[in-house]
A = this chain, B = another copy of it.
Protein backbone atom coordinates (compact mmCIF):
# COMPACT_ATOMS: atom_id res chain seq x y z
CA UNK A 1 0.00 0.00 0.00
CA UNK A 2 1.22 3.51 -0.80
CA UNK A 3 2.16 5.77 2.11
CA UNK A 4 1.46 9.37 3.02
CA UNK A 5 3.66 11.10 5.58
CA UNK A 6 2.49 13.34 8.40
CA UNK A 7 4.44 16.02 10.21
CA UNK A 8 2.90 16.77 13.60
CA UNK A 9 3.53 20.19 15.18
CA UNK A 10 2.93 20.14 18.90
CA UNK A 11 2.83 17.28 21.40
CA UNK A 12 0.72 18.77 24.17
CA UNK A 13 -2.63 17.36 25.23
CA UNK A 14 -4.12 17.42 21.72
CA UNK A 15 -0.89 16.49 19.92
CA UNK A 16 -0.34 13.49 22.18
CA UNK A 17 -3.93 12.44 21.59
CA UNK A 18 -3.47 12.64 17.82
CA UNK A 19 -0.16 10.76 17.92
CA UNK A 20 -1.71 8.07 20.09
CA UNK A 21 -4.64 7.56 17.71
CA UNK A 22 -2.30 7.42 14.71
CA UNK A 23 -0.11 4.85 16.42
CA UNK A 24 -2.84 2.72 18.00
CA UNK A 25 -5.45 2.77 15.24
CA UNK A 26 -3.00 3.24 12.37
CA UNK A 27 -3.72 -0.03 10.59
CA UNK A 28 -7.50 0.33 10.69
CA UNK A 29 -7.31 3.98 9.64
CA UNK A 30 -4.95 3.21 6.77
CA UNK A 31 -7.38 0.58 5.52
CA UNK A 32 -10.18 3.15 5.65
CA UNK A 33 -8.08 5.57 3.65
CA UNK A 34 -6.67 3.00 1.25
CA UNK A 35 -3.23 4.49 1.94
CA UNK A 36 -0.87 4.09 4.89
CA UNK A 37 -0.78 7.03 7.29
CA UNK A 38 2.82 7.41 8.43
CA UNK A 39 3.72 9.75 11.30
CA UNK A 40 7.13 10.99 10.12
CA UNK A 41 8.23 13.89 12.36
CA UNK A 42 6.96 15.56 15.52
CA UNK A 43 7.91 19.14 16.36
CA UNK A 44 8.34 19.80 20.10
CA UNK A 45 9.92 22.54 22.17
CA UNK A 46 11.78 20.19 24.50
CA UNK A 47 12.73 16.75 23.16
CA UNK A 48 13.96 15.61 26.57
CA UNK A 49 10.74 16.25 28.45
CA UNK A 50 9.38 12.98 29.86
CA UNK A 51 6.13 12.03 28.09
CA UNK A 52 3.58 9.35 28.87
CA UNK A 53 3.41 8.47 25.18
CA UNK A 54 6.25 6.36 23.78
CA UNK A 55 6.96 7.37 20.20
CA UNK A 56 9.19 5.46 17.78
CA UNK A 57 12.85 6.59 17.85
CA UNK A 58 13.94 9.65 15.93
CA UNK A 59 10.54 11.26 15.41
CA UNK A 60 11.03 14.26 17.71
CA UNK A 61 12.66 17.43 16.50
CA UNK A 62 12.88 21.04 17.65
CA UNK A 63 13.49 22.34 14.14
CA UNK A 64 10.34 23.27 12.16
CA UNK A 65 12.32 22.96 8.92
CA UNK A 66 12.54 19.21 9.55
CA UNK A 67 8.80 19.17 8.78
CA UNK A 68 8.27 22.20 6.56
CA UNK A 69 11.18 21.49 4.21
CA UNK A 70 10.63 17.74 4.34
CA UNK A 71 9.19 16.16 1.18
CA UNK A 72 8.37 13.13 3.35
CA UNK A 73 5.72 15.21 5.14
CA UNK A 74 3.05 16.22 2.60
CA UNK A 75 0.58 16.67 5.45
CA UNK A 76 1.30 19.11 8.28
CA UNK A 77 -0.85 18.87 11.43
CA UNK A 78 -0.64 21.98 13.58
CA UNK A 79 -1.83 21.50 17.17
CA UNK A 80 0.48 23.91 19.00
CA UNK A 81 -2.18 26.55 19.58
CA UNK A 82 -1.65 30.30 19.83
CA UNK A 83 -1.27 32.78 17.00
CA UNK A 84 2.49 32.54 16.51
CA UNK A 85 4.54 30.73 15.40
CA UNK A 86 1.53 28.62 14.31
CA UNK A 87 0.38 31.10 11.66
CA UNK A 88 3.84 31.36 10.13
CA UNK A 89 4.27 27.58 10.04
CA UNK A 90 0.85 27.05 8.46
CA UNK A 91 1.57 29.70 5.84
CA UNK A 92 4.94 28.19 5.07
CA UNK A 93 3.43 24.71 4.79
CA UNK A 94 0.74 25.90 2.36
CA UNK A 95 3.31 27.84 0.34
CA UNK A 96 5.36 24.66 0.08
CA UNK A 97 2.30 22.87 -1.38
CA UNK A 98 1.59 20.84 1.75
CA UNK A 99 -1.88 20.02 3.03
CA UNK A 100 -2.58 21.44 6.47
CA UNK A 101 -4.80 20.27 9.31
CA UNK A 102 -5.12 22.60 12.26
CA UNK A 103 -7.08 22.76 15.50
CA UNK A 104 -6.23 26.42 15.87
CA UNK A 105 -9.31 28.65 16.18
CA UNK A 106 -7.23 31.76 16.79
CA UNK A 107 -5.27 31.37 13.56
CA UNK A 108 -8.40 30.68 11.48
CA UNK A 109 -10.33 33.51 13.17
CA UNK A 110 -7.53 36.00 12.54
CA UNK A 111 -5.96 34.80 9.31
CA UNK A 112 -8.56 32.47 7.77
CA UNK A 113 -9.35 34.47 4.62
CA UNK A 114 -5.67 34.90 3.72
CA UNK A 115 -4.88 31.24 4.39
CA UNK A 116 -7.94 30.00 2.47
CA UNK A 117 -6.79 31.93 -0.60
CA UNK A 118 -3.30 30.56 -0.25
CA UNK A 119 -4.59 26.97 0.00
CA UNK A 120 -6.71 27.48 -3.07
CA UNK A 121 -3.80 28.94 -5.05
CA UNK A 122 -1.61 25.97 -4.15
CA UNK A 123 -4.44 23.47 -4.66
CA UNK A 124 -4.01 21.97 -1.22
CA UNK A 125 -6.34 21.31 1.68
CA UNK A 126 -6.58 23.50 4.77
CA UNK A 127 -8.87 21.69 7.20
CA UNK A 128 -9.82 22.80 10.71
CA UNK A 129 -12.70 20.65 12.00
CA UNK A 130 -11.11 20.57 15.48
CA UNK A 131 -11.06 24.35 15.81
CA UNK A 132 -14.68 24.56 16.98
CA UNK A 133 -16.72 22.10 19.01
CA UNK A 134 -14.03 19.45 19.57
CA UNK A 135 -15.07 16.28 17.79
CA UNK A 136 -18.61 17.42 16.92
CA UNK A 137 -18.90 17.35 13.13
CA UNK A 138 -19.59 20.99 12.42
CA UNK A 139 -17.07 22.53 10.04
CA UNK A 140 -17.60 19.65 7.62
CA UNK A 141 -21.41 19.87 7.69
CA UNK A 142 -21.29 23.66 7.29
CA UNK A 143 -18.84 23.38 4.39
CA UNK A 144 -20.53 20.53 2.61
CA UNK A 145 -23.84 19.30 3.98
CA UNK A 146 -25.72 22.58 4.32
CA UNK A 147 -24.51 24.22 1.11
CA UNK A 148 -27.98 24.27 -0.43
CA UNK A 149 -29.07 26.54 2.43
CA UNK A 150 -28.83 30.21 3.00
CA UNK A 151 -27.66 30.19 6.63
CA UNK A 152 -29.68 32.74 8.58
CA UNK A 153 -28.29 32.35 12.06
CA UNK A 154 -25.96 30.51 14.39
CA UNK A 155 -26.55 30.30 18.12
CA UNK A 156 -24.00 28.31 20.02
CA UNK A 157 -22.74 27.21 23.38
CA UNK A 158 -19.14 26.75 22.30
CA UNK A 159 -17.13 27.12 25.46
CA UNK A 160 -17.24 24.13 27.77
CA UNK A 161 -15.45 25.86 30.64
CA UNK A 162 -18.03 28.60 31.02
CA UNK A 163 -20.91 26.22 30.45
CA UNK A 164 -19.61 24.02 33.24
CA UNK A 165 -19.38 27.03 35.57
CA UNK A 166 -22.85 28.31 34.62
CA UNK A 167 -24.37 24.85 35.06
CA UNK A 168 -22.92 24.62 38.58
CA UNK A 169 -24.19 28.10 39.44
CA UNK A 170 -27.65 27.32 38.03
CA UNK A 171 -28.07 23.89 39.58
CA UNK A 172 -26.44 24.27 42.93
CA UNK A 173 -26.65 27.98 43.59
CA UNK A 174 -22.89 28.33 44.12
CA UNK A 175 -21.28 31.67 43.36
CA UNK A 176 -19.03 32.36 40.41
CA UNK A 177 -15.71 32.05 42.23
CA UNK A 178 -16.58 28.75 43.86
CA UNK A 179 -17.70 27.32 40.52
CA UNK A 180 -14.55 28.59 38.81
CA UNK A 181 -12.26 27.06 41.45
CA UNK A 182 -14.06 23.76 41.08
CA UNK A 183 -13.70 23.89 37.29
CA UNK A 184 -9.99 24.56 37.74
CA UNK A 185 -9.61 21.67 40.19
CA UNK A 186 -11.29 19.35 37.66
CA UNK A 187 -9.12 20.55 34.79
CA UNK A 188 -12.06 22.18 32.95
CA UNK A 189 -10.60 25.65 33.48
CA UNK A 190 -7.01 26.82 33.14
CA UNK A 191 -5.06 28.48 35.97
CA UNK A 192 -5.55 31.76 34.09
CA UNK A 193 -9.16 31.42 32.96
CA UNK A 194 -9.36 34.80 31.18
CA UNK A 195 -9.69 33.47 27.63
CA UNK A 196 -12.66 31.36 28.58
CA UNK A 197 -14.55 33.40 31.18
CA UNK A 198 -14.18 36.68 29.28
CA UNK A 199 -15.58 35.12 26.11
CA UNK A 200 -12.39 35.50 24.04
CA UNK A 201 -12.30 31.81 23.10
CA UNK A 202 -15.98 31.97 22.09
CA UNK A 203 -15.31 35.04 19.94
CA UNK A 204 -12.61 33.17 17.99
CA UNK A 205 -14.94 30.24 17.44
CA UNK A 206 -17.82 32.47 16.39
CA UNK A 207 -15.55 34.17 13.85
CA UNK A 208 -14.66 30.72 12.42
CA UNK A 209 -18.32 29.71 12.23
CA UNK A 210 -19.26 33.02 10.60
CA UNK A 211 -16.62 32.45 7.90
CA UNK A 212 -18.31 29.19 6.97
CA UNK A 213 -21.95 30.03 7.58
CA UNK A 214 -22.09 33.54 6.17
CA UNK A 215 -19.00 33.32 3.94
CA UNK A 216 -17.77 36.63 5.26
CA UNK A 217 -14.86 37.62 7.46
CA UNK A 218 -15.99 39.33 10.68
CA UNK A 219 -13.15 41.39 12.17
CA UNK A 220 -12.70 40.29 15.78
CA UNK A 221 -12.96 43.83 17.24
CA UNK A 222 -16.42 44.08 15.67
CA UNK A 223 -17.72 41.07 17.60
CA UNK A 224 -19.39 42.28 20.79
CA UNK A 225 -17.95 40.40 23.75
CA UNK A 226 -19.06 40.10 27.36
CA UNK A 227 -17.93 37.37 29.74
CA UNK A 228 -19.61 35.65 32.67
CA UNK A 229 -17.72 37.11 35.63
CA UNK A 230 -20.46 39.58 36.55
CA UNK A 231 -23.17 36.94 36.95
CA UNK A 232 -24.40 36.33 40.46
CA UNK A 233 -26.21 33.43 42.05
CA UNK A 234 -29.34 35.56 42.38
CA UNK A 235 -29.45 36.18 38.62
CA UNK A 236 -29.92 32.42 38.21
CA UNK A 237 -32.70 32.39 40.82
CA UNK A 238 -34.56 35.15 39.01
CA UNK A 239 -33.94 33.45 35.66
CA UNK A 240 -35.51 30.23 36.92
CA UNK A 241 -38.43 32.13 38.43
CA UNK A 242 -39.02 33.71 35.03
CA UNK A 243 -38.65 30.44 33.09
CA UNK A 244 -35.11 30.81 31.76
CA UNK A 245 -31.59 29.45 32.01
CA UNK A 246 -28.51 31.66 31.66
CA UNK A 247 -26.03 30.54 29.01
CA UNK A 248 -22.99 32.14 27.42
CA UNK A 249 -24.11 32.30 23.81
CA UNK A 250 -22.21 33.04 20.64
CA UNK A 251 -24.72 34.47 18.20
CA UNK A 252 -24.29 35.24 14.54
CA UNK A 253 -27.11 36.42 12.34
CA UNK A 254 -27.38 37.53 8.74
CA UNK A 255 -30.01 40.18 7.99
CA UNK A 256 -30.50 42.30 4.88
CA UNK A 257 -26.94 41.86 3.73
CA UNK A 258 -25.42 42.67 7.11
CA UNK A 259 -24.04 40.46 9.85
CA UNK A 260 -24.50 40.63 13.59
CA UNK A 261 -22.00 38.84 15.82
CA UNK A 262 -21.91 38.81 19.60
CA UNK A 263 -20.84 36.74 22.60
CA UNK A 264 -22.56 37.39 25.92
CA UNK A 265 -24.54 35.70 28.67
CA UNK A 266 -28.18 35.36 27.66
CA UNK A 267 -31.51 34.34 29.13
CA UNK A 268 -32.60 31.26 27.18
CA UNK A 269 -36.16 29.87 27.58
CA UNK A 270 -35.94 26.78 29.82
CA UNK A 271 -37.82 24.48 27.46
CA UNK A 272 -35.46 25.02 24.51
CA UNK A 273 -32.71 22.59 23.62
CA UNK A 274 -29.98 25.19 24.18
CA UNK A 275 -31.15 25.70 27.76
CA UNK A 276 -30.68 21.98 28.36
CA UNK A 277 -27.03 21.83 27.33
CA UNK A 278 -25.26 21.08 30.58
CA UNK A 279 -21.75 20.86 31.96
CA UNK A 280 -18.81 20.72 29.60
CA UNK A 281 -21.02 19.99 26.57
CA UNK A 282 -21.27 22.21 23.50
CA UNK A 283 -24.25 22.73 21.22
CA UNK A 284 -24.41 24.64 17.98
CA UNK A 285 -27.73 25.57 16.41
CA UNK A 286 -27.65 26.42 12.72
CA UNK A 287 -30.71 27.87 11.03
CA UNK A 288 -30.98 27.53 7.27
CA UNK A 289 -33.69 28.71 4.91
CA UNK A 290 -34.47 25.12 3.86
CA UNK A 291 -33.36 22.89 6.70
CA UNK A 292 -34.84 24.97 9.52
CA UNK A 293 -32.98 24.62 12.81
CA UNK A 294 -30.42 21.89 13.20
CA UNK A 295 -28.54 21.36 16.47
CA UNK A 296 -25.19 19.62 16.86
CA UNK A 297 -24.43 18.52 20.42
CA UNK A 298 -21.41 16.85 21.97
CA UNK A 299 -18.19 17.21 23.90
CA UNK A 300 -16.45 20.39 22.81
CA UNK A 301 -13.02 19.60 24.18
CA UNK A 302 -10.74 16.87 25.48
CA UNK A 303 -7.93 14.97 23.78
CA UNK A 304 -10.05 12.09 22.40
CA UNK A 305 -12.86 14.17 20.81
CA UNK A 306 -10.36 16.67 19.42
CA UNK A 307 -8.22 13.84 18.01
CA UNK A 308 -11.34 12.47 16.36
CA UNK A 309 -11.69 15.70 14.39
CA UNK A 310 -7.98 16.09 13.60
CA UNK A 311 -7.49 12.49 12.49
CA UNK A 312 -10.63 12.68 10.40
CA UNK A 313 -9.26 15.70 8.58
CA UNK A 314 -6.09 13.70 7.95
CA UNK A 315 -8.21 10.86 6.55
CA UNK A 316 -10.05 13.26 4.24
CA UNK A 317 -6.74 14.41 2.80
CA UNK A 318 -5.34 10.90 2.56
CA UNK A 319 -8.39 9.61 0.70
CA UNK A 320 -8.27 12.54 -1.65
CA UNK A 321 -4.56 12.04 -2.35
CA UNK A 322 -5.18 8.34 -2.89
CA UNK A 323 -7.96 9.17 -5.38
CA UNK A 324 -5.71 11.76 -7.03
CA UNK A 325 -8.57 14.21 -6.65
CA UNK A 326 -8.22 17.95 -6.36
CA UNK A 327 -9.38 19.43 -3.05
CA UNK A 328 -13.06 20.28 -3.14
CA UNK A 329 -13.65 22.08 0.07
CA UNK A 330 -12.00 25.43 0.11
CA UNK A 331 -13.90 28.18 1.76
CA UNK A 332 -14.95 30.64 -0.93
CA UNK A 333 -15.69 33.89 0.81
CA UNK A 334 -18.03 36.54 -0.53
CA UNK A 335 -17.23 40.19 -0.36
CA UNK A 336 -17.07 41.16 3.30
CA UNK A 337 -20.54 41.91 4.64
CA UNK A 338 -20.89 44.97 6.89
CA UNK A 339 -21.15 44.17 10.60
CA UNK A 340 -24.04 45.76 12.42
CA UNK A 341 -23.09 47.53 15.63
CA UNK A 342 -24.63 46.28 18.87
CA UNK A 343 -26.71 49.42 19.43
CA UNK A 344 -28.82 48.38 16.42
CA UNK A 345 -29.80 45.14 18.15
CA UNK A 346 -33.44 44.71 19.13
CA UNK A 347 -34.02 42.24 21.93
CA UNK A 348 -35.65 41.79 25.33
CA UNK A 349 -33.70 42.61 28.47
CA UNK A 350 -33.47 41.44 32.06
CA UNK A 351 -32.48 44.34 34.28
CA UNK A 352 -31.63 43.97 37.97
CA UNK A 353 -31.35 47.11 40.08
CA UNK A 354 -30.56 47.85 43.68
CA UNK A 355 -32.67 50.81 44.77
CA UNK A 356 -33.76 52.80 47.79
CA UNK A 357 -36.68 51.02 49.44
CA UNK A 358 -39.22 53.79 49.26
CA UNK A 359 -42.37 54.67 47.31
CA UNK A 360 -42.14 56.08 43.80
CA UNK A 361 -38.81 54.52 42.84
CA UNK A 362 -40.28 52.18 40.25
CA UNK A 363 -42.23 55.09 38.76
CA UNK A 364 -39.03 57.06 38.18
CA UNK A 365 -37.38 54.09 36.45
CA UNK A 366 -40.47 53.27 34.40
CA UNK A 367 -40.62 56.88 33.32
CA UNK A 368 -37.10 56.81 31.92
CA UNK A 369 -37.74 53.53 30.11
CA UNK A 370 -41.05 54.73 28.71
CA UNK A 371 -39.52 57.95 27.39
CA UNK A 372 -37.09 55.80 25.39
CA UNK A 373 -39.87 53.55 24.05
CA UNK A 374 -38.78 50.61 26.19
CA UNK A 375 -41.88 48.90 27.47
CA UNK A 376 -41.89 46.76 30.58
CA UNK A 377 -43.12 43.15 30.36
CA UNK A 378 -42.91 42.29 34.06
CA UNK A 379 -41.45 43.49 37.33
CA UNK A 380 -40.31 41.56 40.37
CA UNK A 381 -39.61 43.56 43.50
CA UNK A 382 -38.30 41.78 46.55
CA UNK A 383 -35.31 41.12 48.74
CA UNK A 384 -35.88 44.35 50.63
CA UNK A 385 -33.04 44.94 53.08
CA UNK A 386 -34.57 47.03 55.94
CA UNK A 387 -31.20 47.69 57.60
CA UNK A 388 -29.73 49.18 54.42
CA UNK A 389 -33.05 50.66 53.35
CA UNK A 390 -32.65 49.09 49.91
CA UNK A 391 -34.70 46.79 47.73
CA UNK A 392 -34.09 44.85 44.56
CA UNK A 393 -36.08 45.43 41.39
CA UNK A 394 -35.98 43.02 38.45
CA UNK A 395 -37.46 44.23 35.18
CA UNK A 396 -38.10 42.18 32.05
CA UNK A 397 -38.66 44.39 29.03
CA UNK A 398 -40.43 43.81 25.74
CA UNK A 399 -38.13 43.92 22.70
CA UNK A 400 -36.26 47.22 22.65
CA UNK A 401 -33.27 48.70 20.89
CA UNK A 402 -29.88 48.24 22.56
CA UNK A 403 -29.03 51.88 21.88
CA UNK A 404 -32.14 53.02 23.76
CA UNK A 405 -31.46 50.59 26.60
CA UNK A 406 -27.90 51.84 27.05
CA UNK A 407 -29.15 55.42 27.09
CA UNK A 408 -31.79 54.47 29.67
CA UNK A 409 -29.13 52.78 31.84
CA UNK A 410 -27.08 55.96 31.81
CA UNK A 411 -30.05 57.94 33.06
CA UNK A 412 -31.15 55.32 35.59
CA UNK A 413 -27.63 55.18 37.07
CA UNK A 414 -27.87 58.90 37.74
CA UNK A 415 -31.14 58.64 39.68
CA UNK A 416 -30.42 59.38 43.37
CA UNK A 417 -32.75 56.50 44.39
CA UNK A 418 -30.73 53.93 42.40
CA UNK A 419 -27.84 52.42 44.36
CA UNK A 420 -26.60 50.14 41.59
CA UNK A 421 -27.46 48.74 38.18
CA UNK A 422 -26.60 45.19 39.24
CA UNK A 423 -26.97 43.43 35.91
CA UNK A 424 -28.29 43.74 32.38
CA UNK A 425 -28.72 40.45 30.52
CA UNK A 426 -30.08 40.06 27.02
CA UNK A 427 -32.87 37.59 26.40
CA UNK A 428 -32.48 35.23 23.46
CA UNK A 429 -36.03 34.35 22.44
CA UNK A 430 -36.83 31.00 20.93
Contacts and interface: CB of A to CB of B under 8 A. Distances in A.
A294 B292 contact: no
A149 B308 CA distance: 7
A290 B315 contact: no
A289 B307 CA distance: 11
Given A145-B129, A315-B148, A328-B320, A135 B290 contact: yes
A140 B148 CA distance: 14
Please report whether the interface of chain A is mostly helix, strand, loop or mixed according to DSSP: mixed
A298 interface: yes
Interface in A257-315: 273, 276, 288-299, 302, 304-305, 307-309, 311-312, 314-315
- Copies of this chain in its oligomeric complex: 2
B273 A290 contact: no
A358 interface: no
A48 interface: no
Contacts of A276: 273, 276
Name the residue in A144, A148, A289, A297 with the highest tally of chain B Cβ atoms < 10 Å from its Cβ: A148
9 closest residue pairs by CB, A with B: A325-B325, A137-B145, A135-B291, A290-B308, A294-B298, A148-B311, A137-B141, A295-B297, A291-B308
24 contacts: A28-B150, A29-B147, A29-B148, A135-B290, A135-B292, A136-B294, A140-B140, A147-B312, A147-B315, A148-B312, A148-B315, A273-B276, A276-B276, A291-B299, A291-B308, A292-B299, A293-B298, A293-B299, A294-B296, A295-B296, A295-B297, A296-B296, A320-B325, A323-B325
